[in-house]
Amino acid sequence: MAMKQKFHIAILPSPGISHLIPFVEFAKRLLLQNNNFHVTCIIPNNGPPSKATKAIVESLPTSIDSIFLPPVSFNDFPNGIVPILQIILTMSRSLPSLRHVLESLVSKAHLSAFLTDLFGTDTLDVAKEFNIPAFIFFPSPATVLSLFLMAPKLDVTVPCEFRDLPGPMEIPGAIPIRGKDLPEPFQNRKSEIYKCFLNLAKRLTEVEGIMVNTFTDMEFGAIKAMQHQKGEPNCIISPPVYPIGPIIQTGSSSDDHGSECSTWLDNQPCGSVLYVSFGSGGTLSTEQLKELALGLEMSGQKFLWVVRRSNELPSAAYLNSQLSQGDFDPSEVLPNGFLGRTKGQGLVVASWAPQIEILRHGSTGGFLTHCGWNSTLEGVMFGKPLIAWPLFAEQEMNAVMLVEVLKVALRPKASESGLIGREEIVKVVKGLIEGEEGKRLGQRMNDLKDAANRALSKDGSSTRALSELASKWQNLEASK
């Protein structure tokens, strides 16, 4: 009997653990639904891979290969470079080594598709050289994708800085969004970063399709606007869009922190604990860290808090494995006596904790999050209501959606200086864990969790979208 043909695709996430994880999990989901695919994950670098990156790669199934590209150098930036530019430049400076890898892969077998993300649009030229159909995997919300697809038009039609607009911006199908809540690169149109993003956005329409890590019931309006035919009212000109989420991290950890967290949670009452984490890259200033500590203490509520060294740059840990995962003594950054005073009330762990296990646990009643999309979807999948505390990237937009549209999150108010004070923290923590509003948020989050599970079921919308995509790749290969 003839062996079934294997279709081979290559995926290229941009640097950062929060980009690698959804790409890898997407590949696993594809293989689970279609066992006649083989995936090669190409990983760009600007230094040695972090411990977390190595752990993810080492746990890949045999049908996913991995190739680390040689690290690029930033020696021409002697005074350092902000994380967002590091990501964009790492991708563009990896083009020669990517060309070499694709050449090698194509010499062994046909590639049915090449997938990268928004930051990798420069790599589309290399895929084109080898005649490989190119796709974008957008691991953020459809609402943010619609903004990027509209960005070239907005750049021409909006005369002022977006943050100075008198009212919210109307993006077809999406939530009305205030200029001040747009992602950081949109806050200064004269900046190099904005120009980079505009160039990335202009290339989104060149691909054969865009996969989005979301599901129809969560962002119906934005998805519908992008799936409308050109010329229809309220449409966004876009390649075919495939909502295939929620895709979240699978697998667990046997790390020491893991057993410590699980054992502690096992001894807490059901739904009583607030989990506090700012993702793989978020950091708080020294002053904000102190206010959060005192607010948690004064609330009297149980908490499990992943503490990181303070830094004035909110995204400081994003590409810095020392900050994001380095072990240190949390007492170095917490108020004097805090750990002693809260010993029965809370558990503090340094830098990292097994988030999936914590959110899955019955004792966890809520999640204070930076609103990164991976963390947001994990909160949804485990039905935990949120406290929204956005820090950088598209997190402000995510927070607006969670608080104002989906109504599954509370958001503490910051002072004019941007600091969130301890009294405000007490108010939202108590409100979420023991207040009536917290119960209403919890019910809505459970409804969203049910909708997510329906989307991922055998005949669900996300399962169908992924099947449609797999068929498209197979047909593209057959037509060569």
Alpha-carbon span 321 to 50, nearest angstrom:
6
Bridge pairing between strands 241-243 and 113-116: unpaired
Q: Which residues participate in catalysis according to the annotation?
A: 19, 117
Neighbour-count burial for 18-35, b at 16+ CB within 10 Å, e otherwise: bbbbbbbbbbbbbbeebe
> Is 253 buried (19+), middle (13-18) or exposed (0-12) by CB count in 10 A?
middle
Measured CA to CA in angstroms, residue 63 lies from 36, 250, 343 at distances of 10, 16, 46
And the tokens for 70?
A: 């040689």
And the tokens for 186?
A: 């949109």
DSSP 329: -
Measured CA to CA in angstroms, residue 203 lies from 66, 143, 237 at distances of 26, 18, 12
DSSP 316: T
**Strands (DSSP E) found in 308-416:** 346-350, 364-369, 386-388, 409-410
CB-based contacts of 475, cutoff 8 Å, min separation 6? none
Alpha-carbon span 393 to 383, nearest angstrom:
24
On whether the CB atoms of residues 242 and 209 are closer than 8 A, the answer is yes
And the tokens for 140?
A: 């953020």
Q: Phi then psi for 350, rounded to 5 degrees?
A: -85, 125
Q: How much helix, strand and coil, in percent to the nearest 5, is found in the chain?
A: 45, 15, 40
- CA atoms within a 13 Å half-sphere pointing along the CA-CB vector of 255: 20
CB-based contacts of 328, cutoff 8 Å, min separation 6? 309, 350, 351
Amino acid sitting at position 40: T
On whether the CB atoms of residues 117 and 14 are closer than 8 A, the answer is yes
Alpha-carbon span 404 to 385, nearest angstrom:
14
And the tokens for 281?
A: 């890259």
311 SS3 class: coil
